[in-house]
Structure 1
Amino acid sequence: MSPAAPRLAGQAGKGLAGHTRISTQALTSVAQAAAADVFGVAPAAVRVSWTDDAGALALAVSSPISAPSLGTVRASPGRLERTGGSIAQRATLAKALILATVEHLTGSRLSRVDIRISGLQATEQGRVQ
């Protein structure tokens, strides 16, 4: 251990002089990953943008959402509830989950998260009859 290590370890809870910034690209990557996890899609399918909301960060997310095929829901209506509810219910819950995840991982404060569901990715193959 270097002689400076004990001195720095004791300052872990204290701020050191200087700046720490997270780039827009890093924030975007974290937000894409968080939204992709919540919606059950690939991060590349998620689009995010940032705006200034009276000095705070506002996040807009546009993403497809994974859901059982219509044939599966018709055959087993209870399946929809086991996947987290309707698309509207899942999108509403996603706002809080994405906000909490992005804030936790980046240390940034978000004022809001706006969600736009851009499509549906069926999780199971099947034909609607």
Structure 2
Amino acid sequence: MSSAAAANRGSLDAHRIGHNRLTYTAIRKTVESVTAQAFHVDAGDVSATVEDDAGKLGVSVSVKLTLPPLLKPVPLLKPQPGGEPQPATATVFEQARAARKEIVARGTAITGLDIGRVDIRLTGGKSGQPKERRVE
């Protein structure tokens, strides 16, 4: 092989012609995984649908949140240095707002798709405590 042919072949390898495709299922599963991480829940507690949103990716997710123990005392306020006391935990609306930003940022970084609308539906909760079993 001549040096000119080798140089030409090297430039072809660097600029291969072709295409990449992400299937609907791959995009949906990616969005579900990113959402589960954003809400700190298991992947099985999230379902998603994706669709076109005026040229961007429109995302709708449903998340089954884990409920905190309702009968266990929880500190309501935590002190902030040089400031007013702040709630110890974020509200579900604050969690959803933060998760929406994370879904857009991480989903875009992973898939390369421009994510537009992100609808979040928080569905019934499940107890974070294991169920007690009684033996009679």
User: TM-score if structure 2 supplies the norm length?
Assistant: 0.71
**1:100-128: CA deviations, max 9, x gaps?**
11111111111121111012234346xxx
Question: In the alignment, is residue 116 of structure 1 matched against residue 121 of structure 2?
Answer: yes
CA distance in 2 between counterparts of 1:35 and 1:110 reads: 13
Q: 1:81 to 1:17 in 2, by over 3 A?
A: farther
For the aligned residues, what is the CA RMSD? Answer: 3.0
The answer for the alignment partner of 1:41 in structure 2 is: 41
The answer for the alignment partner of 1:7 in structure 2 is: 10
Task: Give the superposition deviation at 1:82.
Answer: 4.4
The answer for the alignment partner of 1:23 in structure 2 is: 23
CA distance in 2 between counterparts of 1:90 and 1:31 reads: 17
Q: 1:50 to 1:7 in 2, by over 3 A?
A: same
The answer for the alignment partner of 1:105 in structure 2 is: 110
Preserved contact between residue 39 and residue 64 of structure 1 (Cα < 8 Å): no
Preserved contact between residue 40 and residue 66 of structure 1 (Cα < 8 Å): no
Preserved contact between residue 45 and residue 65 of structure 2 (Cα < 8 Å): no
Q: 1:82 to 1:121 in 2, by over 3 A?
A: farther
Runs of 4+ in 1 over 6 A off after TM superposition: none
User: TM-score if structure 1 supplies the norm length?
Assistant: 0.75
Residue number among 88, 98, 103 corresponding to 1:93 in the alignment: 98
The percentage of aligned residue pairs carrying the same residue is 26
Task: Give the superposition deviation at 1:71.
Answer: 2.5
CA distance in 1 between counterparts of 2:124 and 2:67 reads: 10
Structure in which a larger fraction of residues adopt helix = 1
The answer for the alignment partner of 2:60 in structure 1 is: 60
Q: How many residues align?
A: 117
In structure 1, the gaps of 5 or more residues are none
Task: Give the superposition deviation at 1:70.
Answer: 2.1
**Secondary structure in 2 aligned to 1:71?**
coil
Task: Give the superposition deviation at 1:51.
Answer: 1.8
In structure 2, the gaps of 5 or more residues are 1-5, 79-85, 131-136
Letter in 2 for 1:113: V
